[in-house]
Structure 1
Amino acid sequence: MGVSGCGKSSVGQSLAHALGWTLHEGDAYHAEESIRKMQSGTPLTDEDRSGWLDTLTRLLDSAIATPGPGVVLTCSALKRKYRDRLRDAGPSGTVGFVFLDLGYDTALQRVQGRSGHFFSPELVANQFATLERPEGEGTVLCVDATLPLTEIVQRTQSWLGRPHALTT
């Protein structure tokens, strides 16, 4: 979890591969209207995110209820209430979060430098304004998003200790 440009997709892919878990990219579940809003530089509202969060929670519920490998889900989960909704999936304590902590200037530079993504660089400031840092929430690993990818994955694997759904 974290702001756009923090590395959620890269970390999610590497972590899922390392663990042999299924990866779900949260961006793939946004409504078309939400994607159009983000492309145009219009921030999403809580209402825009509501159906998306419901979908992600159902996806986690299904993955947790199905025997087999765990699941890694990438999504911003910027507000505590969004994370709490995702925590509703499965039994208590089943869903954990890796917060990829990144400064504004680095996030903006990364978002400006990527191509083929619908997220407008104009929205980076809004993401930082919306972000409620997950301090004191439990089931959250905070990691410096500027660390090498292999180190982030290694720290996450060490933190896991046991298989469960994971949101990066």
Structure 2
Amino acid sequence: MTVRTERPKVIVLAGTAGTGKSTIAAKLVDLYCSSYPGLEFLEGDVVHPPENVAKMSHGIPLTDDDRWDWLSKVGKLGTDSAEARSGLCIVTCSSLKKKYRDHIRNCNSGTDFYFLFLFADRMLILDRITKREGHFMKANMINSQFSDLELPDASEKLESTIDVDGKSIEQVVQECHKDLRAFVAN
């Protein structure tokens, strides 16, 4: 049995609803699976407690208090998967505010997290959300997400932003890979 001495790594695809987090996460799994056999993608939305899903389904934005346990769970599941599998896990989680990202890191201090924000113009996101079917996040909540959004600035380590507006999925994946190259290689 091999004992892994490296810290587990978790890539968090972050951003508002409709930026393509799940699509890009799945593509990154395909890209990195040969280097990280058993690499898993965890969809953060599926671990929201029923109360959160009910609120969002009725167009009620979540408060910070609604999010803390969910954020802790997303970080822990990502860490657990990285430890149990390949050393790396990819999760999707909006992580809109800096204090949410800090909370995930602080609850999982033995794990390295890289927050990769997918971003697009509010009107593009609104158009995508209105065309999406079967998701609890409704178009009327986009304004609250953009109000909460705190994109990383240049001083934030292991955080970056990719503008997805007008780009193909493959272009976005390549930009993500460029930003993640050093993180996944170490």
Structure 2 length-normalised TM: 0.82
The equivalences for 1:60-79 within 5 A come to 60-79=78-97
Provide structure 2 residue ranges, at least 5 long, that are not aligned to the other structure.
1-13, 34-38
Distance 2:138 2:160 in 1: 27
Check conservation: 1:65, 1:90, Cα contact below 8 A: no
Structure 2 equivalent of residue 109 of structure 1:
127
Structure 1 length-normalised TM: 0.90
Does structure 1 residue 5 correspond to structure 2 residue 25? no
The equivalences for 1:71-110 within 5 A come to 71-88=89-106, 89-91=108-110, 94-110=112-128
Q: 1:88-133: CA deviations, max 9, x gaps?
A: 32536x1101111111111111100100111111100000011111
Q: 1:25-53: CA deviations, max 9, x gaps?
A: 00010011110110100000111111101
Letter of the 1:57 counterpart? G
**Which of 1 and 2 has higher RCO (CA within 8 Å, sep 6+)?**
1
SS in 2 for 1:24: strand
Find runs of 4+ consecutive structure 1 residues off by over 4 angstroms: none
Instruction: Tell me by how many angstroms 1:69 deviates.
Output: 4.8
Check conservation: 1:96, 1:140, Cα contact below 8 A: yes
SS in 2 for 1:44: coil
Provide structure 1 residue ranges, at least 5 long, that are not aligned to the other structure.
none
Match for 2:169 among 143, 149, 156?
149
CA RMSD, 1 decimal: 1.6
Does structure 1 residue 159 correspond to structure 2 residue 172? no
Check conservation: 1:3, 1:127, Cα contact below 8 A: yes
Structure 2 equivalent of residue 28 of structure 1:
46
Check conservation: 1:141, 1:156, Cα contact below 8 A: no
Check conservation: 2:79, 2:89, Cα contact below 8 A: no
Structure of higher CA gyration radius? 2
Q: Which moved more, 1:81-90 or 1:113-122?
A: 81-90
Check conservation: 2:152, 2:160, Cα contact below 8 A: no
SS in 1 for 2:184: coil
SS in 2 for 1:71: strand
Structure 2 equivalent of residue 19 of structure 1:
32
Check conservation: 1:8, 1:74, Cα contact below 8 A: yes
Q: 1:73-102: CA deviations, max 9, x gaps?
A: 00100000111122232536x110111111
Structure 2 equivalent of residue 37 of structure 1:
55
Percent of aligned pairs with the same amino acid: 32
SS in 1 for 2:15: coil
Structure 2 equivalent of residue 50 of structure 1:
68
Structure 1 equivalent of residue 152 of structure 2:
134
- Paired residues, number: 163
Distance 2:58 2:96 in 1: 20
